[in-house]
Structure 1
C-alpha cells in the first residue's frame, strides 16, 4: 500500500469556492474544447487552494516540524514517492504549483481520502472507503474514535487484521488502514 498524505486538520474549516461536483475527474484533455479545458484546470486548482486553507491555513511554505510539509501537508515519503524531489527536497520548499502537481499525482492514485479530514470538510469524495496512515503512538482505539468507526477498535481491527497482524496492540507507524 502507498503512504498517504494524512494529518488531522487543525485549521478552521474553509468553504469551497465551487461545489464539489466541479472537482470531479476531468477526463482527457481531448474531451474538452480548448477554453473548457482551461476552465476545468482552473476549477481543479481552486480546490487545492481551499484544501491548503484547511490543511495549513493557506501557508504553502509551512514547516512546523511535525513531519508534514507545505500547504497540502505532505508526509515526506509521499512527497518522494510521487515525484516531489524533482521540484524540491521537501514540499514546503516547492512552489504552490509544484505542490499541486504532486498532489494531482497523489489524487490519481489515492483519491481525496489522502486528505481525510479536510476533504470531508470540503465535501470532496470519490471513494466508498476511507484509509488512514498510522502515525507514531496512535492506537486502534484512537483511530476508530477519530473516524467514528461503528464497532470501535474491534471493528477496525477486524477490517485490517491482514495488515495489523494478530496483535491489535502492536500497531506500527506507517501502516495504511481501511477505516470505512
Structure 2
C-alpha cells in the first residue's frame, strides 16, 4: 500500500497507474505529509532533472531528457510508438500525414512513416522542420515550448550556406546571432547534429 495525494492509502499497483497518468498529463504526485508535519513548498532543483541539451531551442521535458526533441514529440504525438497506425490518417511516431511523408522524401525509406525506422522518420521530420517549423506539430510543439524553423547541422554545413538555402535576411550573421549560445564564439565552428534556429 502507498499513500496517494491527499493521504489516501491505495494498493501499490493503483498508485503506479496514478503515477503514469499524472506523468502523461504533466502533473506530479506528491505523497501526503504525515498529520502534524509542517508543510513546506519545495522548489525542484535543476539538478533533479538535469540540464537541457545546449542545442535545445526551448525548455525540454523531464519525460525524455535524453531524447530531445524528437523523442518528446513522439511521446506526445503517439505515446512514443514509432510504428503507430491507428487508422486516423496519421502514421509513425511523429504522426505524419501521408502527403507530408511523400512531399518531404519519406518514400525513399518506406511507403508510410509507420513502416520506416525511428531514424528515418526523424530524417524526414528534420526536413519538415526546415520548411514548416514546429507548427507542423502544433499541439506537441506548444507542450514543449518549441517554435520557429530549425535546421540540424549536417557534415559540410556552414552558416553562410544555411543563410543562402533558407533565404535568411541578414545572411550568416543573422543565423549566427540567433544561435550564438549554441555555436559559441567561433561562427565557423558548427558541429553535425547541432539544432540551429533559422531566423
TM-score by length of 2: 0.44
Which structure has greater helix proportion?
A: 1
Structure (1 or 2) with the larger CA radius of gyration:
2
Q: Relative contact order, CA 8 A, sep 6+: which one is greater?
A: 1
TM-score by length of 1: 0.49
